[in-house]
Amino acid sequence: MSSDLINYEKNEEWEISTDLGWSKFKGVAQYNKRKLIEVSLEDSKTIIVSLLHCFISTSGDKIYAKDSLNELIMTEDGYKKVSGIIELDGEDFVYDIVDVEKNHRYYANGILNHNTHLLDDFWKSVIPTISSGKKSKIFMVSTPNGIGNKFYEMYNGAEKGDNGWNNERIDWWDVPGRNEKWKTDMVNTLGSEESFSQEFGNVFLDSATAAVGYDVLEAFKVNKKAPIWKSDDGSYRVYEMPKKDNLYVVGCDVGEGVGRASSTAQVLDVTDLSNITQVAVYGSNTIEPYHFANRLIHLCSSWGNPPLLIERNNCGAQTLDALSHELSYEKLVSYSKLTQTGEYKSTKNLGIFSHNNLRFNAVSNLRYWINFLQVVKIYDSQTISELETFIRYPNGTYRKKGEKFFDDYVMGLVWGLFTLDPDVCQQYFNIEETDEQQKPLKITRGEYFPNDESLYELKDLIGGNVVIPSNEKVQKKYEPLLGNLEIYGEDDLNMEDLIDLGYTIFRP
């Protein structure tokens, strides 16, 4: 397979109209002759394009011209329906705009189009040949340039470990001679923090619509770390051990369990509201809502049975009903807004029913803690990856950037932080101080938190067996030495005795 690119004219002078204003672009590409179609819209706009030319759908994702009949696509006048597609006789040369800055989109004939990225054509041209060689190697080097392009796709896949590539990064401070003064001078030269982050910050972000800022995401990436323990299938990842004197909350988003959206749980340490920490994460796209409830029971029993906030919409109702009626979990948050202007109140309906207004408020709450106060630490790579593609749409709603992305871990985080909404927080904690926005500034343990050490031992989520005893019990019963394990105690317990007591060997 070879590319049909036959000519490329570089551009350094002209700009093109986009949905974000006028933008620079790298050049114009000419391709070999292709089959063309004429696309007509309901408002009489027309455009002649190739079959695989891309428009922008209502979800913000790309849609091929050949598949766009009766679909709504974005234009200068809002979303319009494609009313007709006519196949033209013969073939003709095709020209396209290359690498439009900001979001790779531009207007032509009043219709929003997705531009060409030369790396895609190069990739199609060389990868079949190079991959056939046993000693062939490919090095891909670039600075980030937004999301949704080939480099983002390859690097993001390498970070997750699901495409066979290895990822490395060199940050600006790794280069000798670059310090904070150099950064300040460079920001002034480039004109903004955004430009600096794009060129030197190793941050993939759709700057115009991102829910989380450049600097915050960069801090998450720099400080992310590997789990101290994870389940065999990797679905449960623990970043800090449970501590019986700390306060925790859990937020959940529930999926169908059919291999698409995941059921997720975010465990947050909220002991110190100036240092909120992500301590554990669960996520699976194959677990059914009913069985997810069983996982949550064991998860919560490791973190002091904390307040558990679950979105009730769709599949969430099954998980909530199982937790309440069959598993008798006591600290299920019940919360809804009864009217457009009414107050949020606890109701008999379990969980949180997320309509547009409430979801907007919940995401705004997340942005307050993460963006404005910057007091949240996120360690999990999957969560950080989803935050990069969690964006604001023109109608003001926040969600994932198109169908090929996901926001399940983000929504678990949204609901976890929403437990700090004053009306929810006061149901479970004592609010000792509030800030100027009436958000909790200092909280203490409420009467519903038993100080039971067994509720702070890390357990697996299938059988509920203890995988790591509490720190205090570890110190009393055994002390690890290099090369082996010596047991201390009244009865000189050996390894078999510990296993009989329910302990399992820790294999990080």
CA dihedral of 146, 149, 151, 156, whole degrees rounded to 10 = 80
Structure tokens at 121: 């054509």
Question: Quick one: pLDDT at residue 121?
Answer: 55
The secondary structure element, H or E, covering residue 395 is none
Which pLDDT score is estimated for 70?
Answer: 92
Looking at residue 210, its pLDDT comes to 74
Question: Which domains, ranges and CATH numbers included, belong to the chain?
Answer: 5-122 (2.170.16.10), 139-200 (no CATH), 231-445 (3.30.420.240), 465-508 (no CATH)
CA dist 401 and 391 (Å) reads 6
pLDDT given for residue 507 in this prediction: 55
Amino acid symbol at 193: E
User: Where are the strands (E) in 373-471, listed by range?
Assistant: 376-377, 390-392, 398-400, 429-434, 440-445, 458-459, 466-468
Cα dihedral 383, 386, 387, 393 sign: negative
Structure confidence at residue 137 (pLDDT): 74
DSSP states of 41-86? ETTS-EEEEETT-EEEBTTS-EEEGGG-TT-EEEETTEEEEEEEEE
**pLDDT for the residue 480:** 36
Q: What pLDDT shows up at residue 195?
A: 66
pTM: predicted TM-score of the whole model, two decimal places: 0.59
Give the pLDDT of residue 1.
34
Helix H or strand E segment including 107:
strand 105-108
Say what the pLDDT of residue 165 is.
80
Please give the Cα distance from 461 to 479 (Å, whole number).
Answer: 26
Query: What's the pLDDT score for residue 208?
Result: 47
User: pLDDT 10s digit of each residue in the chain, 508 long?
Assistant: 345 677 888 888 899 999 888 888 888 988 888 899 999 999 999 999 999 898 988 767 788 899 999 999 999 988 999 999 999 998 999 888 888 876 778 999 999 998 765 556 556 556 666 666 677 777 777 766 555 566 767 776 777 676 778 877 787 788 888 888 888 888 788 776 666 766 776 666 554 467 888 778 888 988 999 999 999 999 999 999 999 899 999 999 999 888 888 999 999 999 999 999 999 999 999 999 999 999 999 999 999 999 999 998 888 999 999 999 999 999 999 987 544 444 544 445 789 988 878 888 899 999 999 988 999 999 999 999 999 889 887 777 888 887 778 999 999 999 999 999 999 999 999 999 998 888 999 999 877 777 788 899 999 999 889 988 765 443 333 333 333 344 444 344 566 656 655 566 655 4
CA dist 382 and 160 (Å) reads: 7
Residue 137 DSSP SS3: coil
pLDDT of residue 128: 66
